[in-house]
Amino acid sequence: MNVLFFQFIQKSMEILLPVGIFLIILSAGYVLRRYLNARLSRWARETDSRMGDVILSSVRVPFLVLFIILGIYAALEFSNIPKAFIGKTNMGLSILSVFAVSLVTANILAGFARIRAERIESVLPVTSLTKNIIMIVVYGVGILIVLNQLGISIAPILATLGVGGLAVALALKDTLSNFFAGFHIIVTKQIRLGDYLKLSSAEEGYVNDISWRTTKIRTLSGNLVLVPNAKLTELIVTNYALPEKDIAVLVDLGVHYDSDLANVERVTCEVAAEVMREVPGGIPDFTPSIRYHTFGASSIDFSVVMRGQGFVDQFLIKHEFIKRIHQRFEKEGIVIPYPIRALNYKQEKGK
């Protein structure tokens, strides 16, 4: 009886010991993760740094996965499972660890690149294309490490990829053309995220994203226009955000021939300056001006020159200027004539 009881205790310990080790390591990982999360959150709040948030979001899940892998590895070492099975399991756990570390590294690098791009005029602005490039590079390194752990020689694989790459390139000619065109667009910085574009094919809107195949343009109506990157490089593109985002706002007007043009210029510039100061999107420091340019059929025509902070700001500026100038002209007795067409009845009668 004592022998059976001792054997039962021994068998139980063979099972409970690995399970206990696994639970201890998993609990330690959970506690450590909570501690690190609290410290990183406090650091991010105290320094007003977004890097802490990036690290926190990147390691939250993989960190616990790594401790699960570590717990399984330690539990197997204290178990009576055959060594051959343990070796294969450890190899699988090692591969999972590499991919978990690759995931964390890729997310952190992409997050840091995004923050860096927002702070300065980055050489490589972060779009979905650049994020994918970061992911491909990091995961590529991870795969090479896994192959090395499996004892697979990398050189023959690279040679095979070199030979097969030509066939793949020919098969994916259009896809690769769009990919490299998108990379060229990003590197040259002639088109950037948030820029307002007008294409020679009539599409216009804000650049929403530059992916591996298309550039996404969000129109003012809220729709997305997908333009293949290779096609975009062939079109004539007007970028209203380069070299500066602010834009000239021109409004054409006409006054009666009997008007005092000096007074018209003074009144118009006063109203335009008021619009620049008070209307959102105007540039308060800009001094508006007018330029007379045409003796029209029924009026002396001129253009009012103002300036807006961005492309869409011109609509509100024009709206407010037209309302205010109409009211001011009426107060000052300045006439905006209706279109007039004169008929020479005597000449018409002689025909």
- Determine the residue type at 243: P
Q: Looking at residue 37, what is its pLDDT?
A: 72
How far is Cα 249 from Cα 282, in angstroms, rounded to an integer? 10
Confidence (pLDDT) at 24: 78
Provide φ and ψ at 144, rounded to 5°. Answer: -65, -40
pTM higher than the cut 0.75: no
Please tell me the predicted confidence (pLDDT) of residue 251. Answer: 93
How would you class 309 by CB atoms within 10 Å of its CB: exposed for 0-12, middle for 13-18, buried for 19 or more? middle
pLDDT beneath 50, residues of the chain: 5, 122-123
pLDDT of residue 347: 55
Q: Which domains does the chain have, with CATH numbers?
A: 2-152 (no CATH), 184-239 (2.30.30.60), 247-332 (3.30.70.100)
CA distance 33 to 27: 10
Q: How far, in Å, CA of 284 to CA of 276, rounded?
A: 5
